[in-house]
Amino acid sequence: MTDYRSFDRTQLISRYGQLTSPEQAWACMDMTRQKLIDMIHQHEPFEEQLRLHFPPNALLNRQRNEIGAEMPFTLGSEKKLYFCWEPDAIGAAAYLDVSRMDQRVWNIGEEISAGTMVLTVLATTPPLVMALETVNSLEGRTYDVRREATFAQPISLLDLEQLCDSGLPRSSQALNPQLAERVLNALTGLVENPRPLYLDAGACGVDSESEATATVHALALAQRHGSETDYCGGCQTNIKGRSTVHFFRDRHVDLHWDIQDHVDDAALLCADCHRLMHAPTLKHLQRMLVACPGCGARNPKEYFWGMPVFPPDEEEYVVGGCAIPNPPVPRYSCRNCELSFGEHPHWVSEPLAD
pLDDT tens series, the chain, 354 aa: 678 888 888 888 888 887 877 667 777 777 888 888 888 888 888 766 554 443 333 344 455 555 667 888 988 777 899 999 999 999 999 888 888 877 888 898 888 888 899 999 999 999 999 999 998 887 666 678 899 999 988 899 999 999 999 999 999 999 999 999 999 999 999 998 888 899 988 778 777 888 999 999 999 999 987 778 888 888 888 888 889 999 887 667 778 888 988 998 899 998 888 888 887 666 666 666 788 888 888 788 888 888 887 778 888 888 888 887 777 788 889 988 989 888 654 444 444 444
Question: What is the span of the domain harbouring residue 247?
Answer: 198-278
User: Is the domain of 213 the same as that of 134?
Assistant: no
Give the pLDDT of residue 6: 80
User: Is the domain of 52 the same as that of 102?
Assistant: no
Distances (CA, A) of 263 to 116, 155, 222, 243: 32, 15, 11, 14
User: Is the domain of 130 the same as that of 30?
Assistant: no
Instruction: Report how far residue 65's alpha carbon sits from residue 154's, in angstroms, rounded to the nearest whole number.
Output: 9
List the one residue out of 144, 91, 83, 86 whose CA is nearest residue 117: 83
For residue 316, tell me if it sits in a domain: yes
Give the pLDDT of residue 242: 86
Give the pLDDT of residue 350: 45
Q: Which of 145, 175, 192 is the last residue in one of the domains?
A: 192
Instruction: Read off the pLDDT of residues 167-188 as tens digits, 9 standing for 90 and up.
Output: 999 999 999 999 999 999 999 9
Give the pLDDT of residue 80: 92
What value, to the nearest 5°, has the Cα angle with vertex 247 and ends 245 and 250? 145
Instruction: Report how far residue 328's alpha carbon sits from residue 47's, in angstroms, rounded to the nearest whole number.
Output: 62
User: Is the domain of 299 the same as that of 332?
Assistant: yes
Give the pLDDT of residue 299: 80
For the CA atoms of 238, 240, 242, 244, what is the dihedral angle to 10 degrees? 80
For residue 8, tell me if it sits in a domain: yes
Give the pLDDT of residue 43: 83
User: Residue type at 229?
Assistant: T
For the CA atoms of 324, 326, 331, 335, what is the dihedral angle to 10 degrees? -90
The residues, ordered by sequence, that sit 6+ positions from 49 with a Cβ below 8 Å of its Cβ are none
User: Is the domain of 167 the same as that of 127?
Assistant: yes
For residue 283, tell me if it sits in a domain: no
Give the pLDDT of residue 352: 44
Instruction: Report how far residue 155's alpha carbon sits from residue 300's, in angstroms, rounded to the nearest whole number.
Output: 50
For residue 241, tell me if it sits in a domain: yes
Give the DSSP letter string of 269-333.
E-HHHHHHHH---HHHHHHHSPPPTTT--S--EEEEEB--SSPPPTTTEEEEES-PPSSSPP-EE
| Total number of domains constituting the chain | 4
Instruction: Read off the pLDDT of residues 9-65 as tens digits, 9 standing for 90 and up.
Output: 888 888 888 787 766 777 777 788 888 888 888 888 876 655 444 333 334 445 555
User: Is the domain of 258 the same as that of 186?
Assistant: no
Q: Which of 278, 306, 329 is the last residue in one of the domains?
A: 278
For residue 71, tell me if it sits in a domain: no
User: Is the domain of 269 the same as that of 216?
Assistant: yes
For residue 166, tell me if it sits in a domain: yes
User: Is the domain of 109 the same as that of 183?
Assistant: yes
Q: Which of 225, 255, 278 is the last residue in one of the domains?
A: 278
User: Is the domain of 247 the same as that of 319?
Assistant: no
How many alpha carbons lie under 13 Å from residue 341 in its C-beta half-sphere? 23
Instruction: Report how far residue 219's alpha carbon sits from residue 224's, in angstroms, rounded to the nearest whole number.
Output: 9
User: Is the domain of 104 the same as that of 157?
Assistant: yes
247 secondary structure, DSSP code: E
For residue 68, tell me if it sits in a domain: no
List the one residue out of 227, 230, 229 whose CA is nearest residue 217: 229
Q: What CATH number does residue 178 fall under?
A: 3.10.590
User: Is the domain of 141 the same as that of 205?
Assistant: no
Give the pLDDT of residue 39: 87
Instruction: Report how far residue 2's alpha carbon sits from residue 342's, in angstroms, rounded to the nearest whole number.
Output: 48
User: Is the domain of 266 the same as that of 218?
Assistant: yes
- Phi/psi of residue 189, each to 5°? -65, -40
- The H or E element that residue 26 is part of is helix 22-27
Instruction: Report how far residue 7's alpha carbon sits from residue 315's, in angstroms, rounded to the nearest whole number.
Output: 45
Give the pLDDT of residue 7: 85
